[in-house]
Each structure stands twice: as structure tokens, then as C-alpha cells.
Amino acid sequence: MYLILIYDVGEERVNRVHKICKKYLIWIQNSVFEGDITDSNFFKLSGELRKVMDKEKDSIITFQFESDRKFKKKILGVEKNSTSFEVW
């Protein structure tokens, strides 16, 4: 599947959450990751995140797609880190 992951976690947990996401996905902006991921790796990723995050305070949202052909991605302003962007 193709995944977009956006985290909103306490500052003291940002580094750990960022490192976990980086093992499975591509970092594209601030607290946003994306990339192809297998079901089993998605299971591993969510398990690792659960251990580190504070479930009372933090929030991690994922959007899952069949493939990266299911959406059009555009960027306005700076391209911080990209897979492939269209100019907006």
C-alpha cells in the first residue's frame, strides 16, 4: 500500500517518532512522511509508534492508498524533501 503519515507529538518524543518513521517511509516535510509500505511493515511501524507515543496527548494520522497513482501531489513554496512534486 502507499501511505501518508502525519504526526503531532510532544516535543520530547519527536526525535524517537521521527526515527521510527524514517525506517519505513520517506520524510517529506516537517512531521509528514510518505511511501510504499507492506502490510507487515505497517503493522511493525504502528507497533513501534505505540510504544513510544503518549496516547493521551499525541496524535498520528495515516492515509492509506492502493498506490501513489490515486492522488495528485502539489507543493507551494519550498520543497523540503521530495519524492516527486508538481509545481503548484
Q: Which of 47, 43, 57, 44 lies closest to 14, judged by CA?
A: 57
Per-residue binding string, its own copies, 11-30, x by CB under 8 A, is -----------------xxx
44 binds its own copies (CB under 8 A): no
* β 32-36/2-8 pair status: antiparallel
Distance of CA 33 to the CA centre of its chain: 3
Choose, by CB under 8 A, the member of 18, 32, 41, 48 that binds its own copies.
32
The answer to whether 81 touches 28, Cβ cutoff 8 Å, is: yes
Quick one: which of 55, 83, 84, 87 contacts its own copies (CB under 8 A)?
Answer: 55
CB of 55 to its own copies, least distance (A): 5
Angle of helix 39-52 relative to helix 11-24, nearest 10 degrees, comes to 160
Residues in contact with its own copies by the rule CB under 8 A:
4, 6, 8-9, 28-32, 46, 49-50, 53-65, 70-80, 88
